[in-house]
Structure 1
Amino acid sequence: MDRVERLLRLGFLPSQLPPAFTTADLAMRHLTVLAVWDGLPPAARGVKVPKSPPTKAEVFSVARAGHQRRATSVPNPVAQAYLCRALVANWADIVRHFRRSKISASHPRFRRDTTRAAALPSMQSLYERRLSQGAGFRYVLRTDISRFFPTIYTHSIPWALHGKAISKKNRDITPTYYGNLLDLVVRQCQDEQTFGLPIGPDTSHIIAECIATAIDVELGKRLGATPAGFRYVDDYYFFFENYSAAESALAQLVRCLKDFELQINFDKTRICKTEELDEDGWTHKLRSFAIAHRGQKQRNDFNHYFELARELARSHRDGSVLVYALRRAGSIIVRKENWPAFEAQLCLAATSHPVALQSIARLLSTYSSIGYTIDKRRLSRLVNALIQEHAPLEHHSEVTWSLWMCKELGLTLSPQSVDLVAEMNSSICVLILLDLAATGQLPKLPAPTRWRNFERSEALWEDLWMLSYEAGVRGWGGMSDTHIRENEHFEELRKLDVRFYNDAAKLTPLFAPKPDALKKHNAQTVAELLEMDDLDDVFDYEDDDGDIYGSPIADEDDEVL
């Protein structure tokens, strides 16, 4: 798999989407479609280089800890394909640029066998780095860049790669000044706007790292030496022998960021003694909590464990405490007799911490797949309550995962929920709703007139491009594919049978019986296996190549060369 294919297949969509949303077809056929698109007539005005028309990305609003939100993006496939190709064509130069930074702990790498295209080190590795690099220093400066991705000025991409003064004198797109090409293709992804990078695609991590690297280099020059410590994406941890040195470094960092039209997040800036910096204490408390593997004690342990998690979540509102707690709970098989109590804990977590819905959906899907009885009445009540609360607010992740649980677990939507989802400005939510309609899982059909406006060729360049394309090629919602045939770029995708929604996809179980388990243990069913004492010898657990923030662990040995 070449790097363009990896970026399109594994680094295109936000990680918070259900498995039905896929770019595998586009990735597999990218050479063909790009060759055809390159041959289309160039734009009447502007730079005469192969590029996408101006496009709008779809916003997918994701729940975060502490009832905050993150606006992730689903970029247009035409614009994103050109961006991926431009990055890969200049990858060797970009890597050389990355190596200029001596403090970065977040160089993106192309790795084999990861769920994302460009891997970042895990958050857990940062704890160990803080511990080792802070040893012997009295003070730590902890800060980050305020709204880093949304405030990046796209014209600063060539500044970072070639120098600000040089870039202002050399604005043409040439192999030497490839930063100008990256500036152009990024702008085509966001309706030619010059501010912001989309949150979600791995391409944004690569470009942001280019800019942050240039800031690292300039900071070292201003300080006269590389500071002790590191930067992870936009988070800085610097260590000093005295308070005044930390203050001086902060002042210089503010100046460096200003040169790139960025700002420090002063609300999260702190200079303190190294022993006072304890940001991850809650993870250790959850990790060290012992949970029995069977019997009444397991049920009691799980109840106490979730009580602890809720208590820690109240005192660490910025941390994904419940998400972490559920991931750890997913590594222990719940015995069948304890499942009803465990499911009740999941329902409680879903209503109070919607940031955990993705993890909850996967737990429910896993246990349903091995034959546990889920309480569909209780869960249907839960998802309808979530939809009726979050759909009017355009809280996409909560509605998406509620709909996905309906699809995968056979839950029942109310007519009111159907109407609320149909009114949402979200390809993701509406496509799952239309999928449920196509399979007869809705109590009523949404009115097709709601989506007539997306049955236009121009809609394929607008934010709900995925709804316009997928509903059109499938004939969902009363739409046809006439408008797709009129669009030269998307018609090529249609002819190649490229899809962005796979209605047969399911969540990957957290664990499953080993291939020879039934035969080896003389069992007829999975239920019999679940009665055994040592389940580690019976089940395979999915390797977790991510942390609570979804960043895969980067290993130099696994890097794609």
Structure 2
Amino acid sequence: MDRTERLLERGYFPSQLPPCFKTKDLAAIHGALYASWLTLQQAPKKGAKIPKAPDSKGERFSVARAGYQRRLTSIPNPVAQTYLATHVVANWPQLLGHYRQSKLSASRPRFLRNGERGANIPSMQLLYERKVLRAAGYRFMLKTDISRFFPTIYTHSVPWALHGKAAAKRNRAPTAKYYGNLLDLSLRQCQDGQTMGLPIGPDTSHVIAEAIATSVDLELRRRLRGYPAGFRYVDDFFLFFSTMEEAEAGLAALTRALQEFELHINVEKTITCSVLEISDDYWPHQLRSFTIGKDGRKQLTDIHHFFELAKDLARKNTDENVMAYALKRASAVIIRKDNWPVFEAHLCHVVLAYPNTLQNFARILSTYADVGYRIDKERLERLVNSILEEHAPLEHHSEVAWCLWICKKLVLTLSAANVDRVSDMHSSICALILLDLDASGRLPKPPRMTYWKSVETTASLHDDLWLLSYEAGVRRWGGFSDVHVVADPHFNLLAILGVRFYDENGELTPIFQAKPRALQQTGLGLVSDLFDLADVDEYVTYMDGYGGYEGGIFFDDDDEDDEPHEENHDEDEPYF
């Protein structure tokens, strides 16, 4: 898998989407698509042809966060995103060389052969340890971040960062030497020509944002005549000084360095303090330290106590993802069948109060349903319909999308009123899952199509609801036809080549699954019977490290191994 394919398959759609949304088809033939789309451009009267996708709008997908906050992620148009990913990878060696100039960055993107995303950045899990190590011998810490980093990045600052502001302003044309201009152009094509902000969600934004942040690091070094002690993680700075005066000078220098790129300090999150005040969040340690037993009555008691602890910690840490982490920790042990009804009830209480846990909730439910546990459909129907009733009118996309997917997965029934509520939403994601349920005969009434049918036009393929316009068209769902798709040369090519962005059979990766020879070794006939065994853990495999749930961690202090490889590198070789 080459880097462009990886960016498009694993680093395009936001990670918060249900598993029925995919970009694998697009990624697999990106080279042929890009080459064919280039032929649609008219050759200029003079000069070289500049690769340029049609201007388009990305769709906003509103995601629930801790503390009832929200994040607006973006789903860019596939034509524009393919151009952007192609141009990023074509200039990866230059970007990598730029990153290496910074001695502050702890968040350089890397292409990892087994990485979960297209471009991976180091885990946050060891930041506390890094702070402790880097602060040793200093008295004061300056902690700050960039205010609204991705949304306030000025796309014209991309060539400033890569080539220097003066040189970039003198040379505005996209060329091999001034490739930052091409990245600037490609970004603007993803967002209707706008010059403000990077799309939140695609990994290409992390790659480009790190280039800008690297230049901030370099400007800070210039102003301080050397690097301060400490590090930067994406947009968070942790810098260490011997005196308060040096720390204040560091803050002033960083403020001016950011202003060079039209960025600003987040004043509310800026503190200067003694290094003795460096602390780590204690709540993850408390949750990690709590062990849910594996057997019988003790496990049931532990389940009650664990959720009481999690609720108490969530109340005390309202801006942290306490409950999402708690559900992951609770997934590290197999719940016994006798205890499942109580565990499921606790999950329902949590997800109703903390909707940012719906994705974790869905994974737990689907895992246990697939191994034969009895799911209380009446309870869950009541739950999802209650959530939809509250969140659909508010355009809370993640809550609605995950509830619809849970209905699809577990064969739950939506109320007629909620079918109407979802039908009024401005969301391709929610619309397509509802139309899938309708096509499967799973709704009490057909969706109201008046609003959604308005995107059955060629122009809509380059507007924000492009995904609904294309997928409903090629599938002929909800009374759509594909006439408008055929009329657009870019999207007609996608349709001809069988590219789909929706998979009716898309599934979440289970938390655990039975080992291949488990039934043979135990002499049992059904997978569900394994979960009656006292030693069931011997016959299951946890996925993604879910059993310990610490995830993968890497830090990239040493750059020497991260040499750029050819696009068609040997898949047996690491990317770094």
TM tier relative to shorter chain: over 0.9
Deviation of 1:545 after TM superposition, in Å, equals 8.9
- CA deviation vs aligned residue, 1:193-225 (integer Å, no higher than 9, x gap): 000000000000000000000001111111122
Alignment of 1:228-267 (within 5 A): 228-267=229-268
Q: How does 1:190-339 map to 2 (within 5 A)?
A: 190-339=191-340
Q: How far apart are residue 403 of structure 1 and its match?
A: 0.6
- The answer to whether structure 1 residue 162 and structure 2 residue 163 are counterparts is yes
Deviation of 1:4 (Å)? 0.8
* Whole-angstrom distance in 1 between the partners of 2:241 and 2:335: 47
SS at match of 1:412: coil
- Contact residue 132 and residue 278 of structure 2 kept, 8 A: no
* Deviation of 1:98 (Å): 0.3
Q: Determine the C-alpha separation between the residues in 1 that align with 2:202 and 2:15.
A: 9
8 Å Cα contact 1:101-1:213 kept in structure 2: yes
Q: Deviations over 1:48-75 (max 9, x none)?
A: 4121111000000001111000000000
Instruction: Structure 1: state its 5+ residue gaps.
Output: none
Q: What's the CA shift for 1:331? A: 1.4
Distance change in 2, residues 1:549/1:403 (3 Å)? farther
What displacement does 1:446 show?
Answer: 1.1
RMSD: 2.0
2:24 equivalent in structure 1: 24
Give the equivalent residue in structure 1 for 2:88: 87
Match of 1:363 in 2: 364
1:559 Cα shift? 4.5
- Corresponding residue of 1:76: 77
Comparing 506-515 and 312-321, the one that deviates more: 312-321
Q: CA deviation at 1:312?
A: 1.2
Counterpart code for 2:130: R
Q: Using the TM superposition, give the Cα deviation of residue 553 of structure 1 relative to its aligned residue in structure 2, in angstroms.
A: 4.8
Q: Who is 1:98 aligned against? A: 99
1:433 equivalent in structure 2: 434
Conservation of the 8 A alpha-carbon contact between 2:131 and 2:230: yes
Q: Is the aligned partner of 1:349 residue 2:364? A: no
Q: Does the 8 Å contact 1:545/1:553 carry over to 2?
A: no
Contact persistence 1:122–1:551 (CA under 8 A): yes
Question: Residues of 1 paired with 2:250 and 2:328: CA distance?
Answer: 38
Mean Cα deviation higher: 34-43 or 367-376? 34-43
The 8 Å contact of residues 422 and 431 in structure 2, kept in 1 or not, is answered as yes
Secondary structure of 1:489's partner? helix
Following superposition, the deviation at residue 550 of structure 1 comes to 9.3
| Stretch deviating more after TM superposition (364-373 or 293-302) | 293-302
Alignment of 1:171-190 (within 5 A): 171-190=172-191
Number of the residue aligned with 2:456 = 455
What are the within-5 Å matches in structure 2 for residues 24-173 of structure 1? Answer: 24-42=24-42, 48-173=49-174
- Pick closer, same or farther for the CA change 1:393–1:550 going to 2, 3 Å: farther
Instruction: Quote the Cα distance in structure 2 between the aligned partners of 1:59 and 1:180.
Output: 25
CA distance in 1, matches of 2:39, 2:478: 33
TM-score by length of 2: 0.94
How far 1:310 moved relative to its partner? 1.4
Quickly say closer, same or farther: Cα 1:470–1:454, change in 2 above 3 A.
same
Q: Tell me by how many angstroms 1:524 deviates.
A: 2.1
Superposition deviation, residue 314 in structure 1: 1.5
Of 409-418 and 523-532, more deviation after overlay is shown by 523-532
Q: Following the alignment from structure 1 to structure 2, what is the Cα–Cα distance between the partners of residues 293 and 453?
A: 54
Answer whether contact 1:473 1:494 (CA < 8 A) is retained: yes
Counterpart AA for 1:272: C
The aligned length equals: 561
**How many Å separate the matches in 1 of 2:80 and 2:478?**
26
Match of 1:520 in 2: 521
- Contact conserved, 2:332 with 2:546, CA < 8 A, in 1? no
CA contact (8 A) 1:59 1:72 kept: yes
Cα deviation code 1:75-134 (max 9, x no counterpart): 000000000111111100000000011010100000112221101111112222122222
> Residue by residue, what CA displacement relative to the aligned partner does 1:331-378 show, whole Å, maximum 9, x if unpaired?
111111111111011101111111111000100110111111111111
Q: Helix, strand or coil: the match of 2:231?
A: strand
Tell me the distance in 1 between the aligned counterparts of 2:297 and 2:183. 59
Residues 553 and 446 (structure 1), Cα distance of their counterparts in 2 relative to 1, 3 Å cut? farther
- Matched to 2:120, the amino acid is A
Deviation digits for residues 522-545 of structure 1, max 9, x if unmatched? 222223322323333210000249
Structure 1 residues 551 and 180: CA distance shift in structure 2, 3 A: farther
Gaps of 5+ in 2: 563-572
**Closer, same or farther in 2 for the Cα pair 1:399/1:546, shift >3 Å?**
farther
SS at match of 1:21: coil
Note the C-alpha offset of 1:151.
0.2
1:392 maps to which residue?
A: 393
Amino acid in the other structure paired with 1:162: H
Note if contact 1:109-1:559 (Cα within 8 Å) is conserved in structure 2: no
3-state SS of paired residue (1:120)? coil
Secondary structure, in 3 states, of the residue corresponding to 2:534?
coil
Secondary structure of residue in 2 paired with 1:231? strand
Equivalent residue for 1:543? 544
- Give the aligned partner of residue 423 of structure 1: 424
Q: Percent identity?
A: 56
**Residues 226-250 of structure 1: CA deviation (Å, up to 9, x unaligned):** 1111111111111222322222211
1:6 aligns with 2:6: yes
**Deviation for aligned residue 1:467:** 0.1
8 A Cα contact 2:401 2:430, kept in partner: yes
2-side partners of 1:77 and 1:44: how far apart?
24
Residue 109 of structure 1 aligns to a residue in which SS?
coil
Q: Work out the CA distance in 2 between the residues paired with 1:322 and 1:254.
A: 35
Which residue identity is paired with 1:13? F
Could you give the per-residue CA deviations for residues 164-200 of structure 1, whole angstroms, max 9, x where no partner exists?
1111111111101000000000000000000000000
Q: Name the structure 2 match of 1:560.
A: 575
Q: Is the Cα contact below 8 Å between 2:351 and 2:361 reproduced in 1?
A: yes
Deviation, structure 1 residue 276: 2.1
Alignment partners' CA distance in 1, 2:336 and 2:537: 13
SS at 2:222's partner residue?
Answer: helix
Which residue pairs with 2:404 in the alignment?
A: 403
Separation (CA, whole Å) in 1 of partners of 2:405 and 2:547: 22
- 8 A Cα contact 1:323 1:548, kept in partner: no
Q: Distance in 2 between matches of 1:511 and 1:239?
A: 43
For residue 237 of structure 1, give the secondary structure of its aligned residue in structure 2. Answer: strand
Change (3 A) 1:278 1:262: same
TM-score (norm 1): 0.97
- Closer, same or farther in 2 for the Cα pair 1:248/1:90, shift >3 Å? same
Find the residue that maps to 2:67 and give its secondary structure: helix
Q: What is the distance in 2 between the residues matched to 1:93 and 1:365?
A: 44
CA distance in 2 between partners of 1:33 and 1:544 (Å): 36
Change (3 A) 1:231 1:270: same
In 2 relative to 1, CA 509–546 (structure 1 residues): closer, same or farther, beyond 3 Å?
closer
In the TM superposition, what are the counterparts of 1:440-519 in structure 2 within 5 Å?
440-519=441-520
Shift of 1:139: 2.0
Classify 1:279/1:416 alpha carbon distance in 2 versus 1 (closer, same or farther; 3 Å): farther
Contact kept, 8 Å, 1:139 with 1:274, in 2: the verdict is yes
